[in-house]
Amino acid sequence: MKNKLIVVTGGAGFIGSHIAETLARDNDVVVIDNLYSGRIENVPENVKFINADVRDFEAIADVIREADYVFHEAAQISVDESVRNPVFTEEVNVIGTVNILMALAEGNGKLIFASSAAVYGDNPNLPLKESETPSPISPYGVTKLAGEHYCRVFYEIYGVPTVVLRYFNVYGPRQSSAYAGVISIFMRNAIKNKPLTIFGDGKQTRDFIYVKDVVEANLLVAKKKKAEGEVFNVATGKETTVLELALKIIDLSGASSSIVFAPPRPGDIRRSVADISKLRKLGFSPKYTLEEGLKETFGWFKNEWKYF
């Protein structure tokens, strides 16, 4: 992909900034972010930055109409916050997505929409396939599913090319302290030799994927015409227990941290792993093992004390 006008919403955030950084090497990239959870330090120097909210159609419509591709990463991503404030989450995640789709309907660009494994809910039919009936168990999951439906409707009715990517547990550099996943929490504590707290018995599993592999998945589906109108899991297809993860991080960091077990958190699912055969058929293959991704991530956290 070269010499294209690309918009990355949420480009000051964790995943969005990695997408913007990669694409800015050969394209004109515009980042739209209101810095609610993103950081201006994450925005690459060689991109244009627009401080705007995706809920404000007039503020974002012109640049999106002109875009060749829009990578829509902007979202209220906290499940806990979605429970506390479902209306705000609805406004950002649903109205924001509709605004982008409406602007694209007036232009010629393609949308790659960041959805989430949260749409599946607590589904025991593992590994999870895209054909499973969604059953979200949080307002956040509901809003992501609504966004998926809007993508489908705008593709079918308005002819807007859309691709939906259901991210599983993404980790890597720049994952913010406010919305940290378990890996970044464990790493922060390990650096300080603090205990790593596991909620439950540690045998719960997740499908962890390194952020650079997520970027590659985004670029792949953007270039593939046959991906349009489709939904894809973005993961590794491998289960890792939280206890295994904690031990790997202690070993990697050389920390003297202990592991502490706490009561399970309400609503936590027991197991999660994706079937990624559909994305593999497009040519996707995760390049990073968990150990390789953890090593790169830990190297970044060690040097970024300002995040703690």
The mean per-residue pLDDT over the stretch 97-105 comes to 98
pTM over cut 0.85: yes
Task: Give the tens place of pLDDT for each residue, 46-65.
Answer: 999 999 999 999 999 999 99
Q: Which amino acid is at 19?
A: I
Answer whether residue 134 shows pLDDT above 90.
yes
Task: Give the tens place of pLDDT for each residue, 180-192.
Answer: 689 999 999 999 9
pLDDT at 304: 81
Active-site residue (options: 36, 69, 120, 140): 140
Identify the structural domains of the chain with CATH numbers, from first to last: 5-169+208-234 (3.40.50.720), 175-207+238-272+288-301 (3.90.25.10)
Q: Active-site residue 140, yes or no? A: yes
Beta-carbon contacts of residue 13 (< 8 Å; ≥ 6 apart): 33, 37, 38, 39, 42, 73, 74, 174, 176
Answer whether residue 168 shows pLDDT above 80.
yes
Beta-carbon contacts of residue 128 (< 8 Å; ≥ 6 apart): 117, 120, 233, 272, 273, 274, 275
Q: Which segment of 191-195, 216-220, 303-307 scores lowest on mean pLDDT?
A: 303-307
Beta-carbon contacts of residue 49 (< 8 Å; ≥ 6 apart): 11, 12, 30, 31, 33, 40, 43
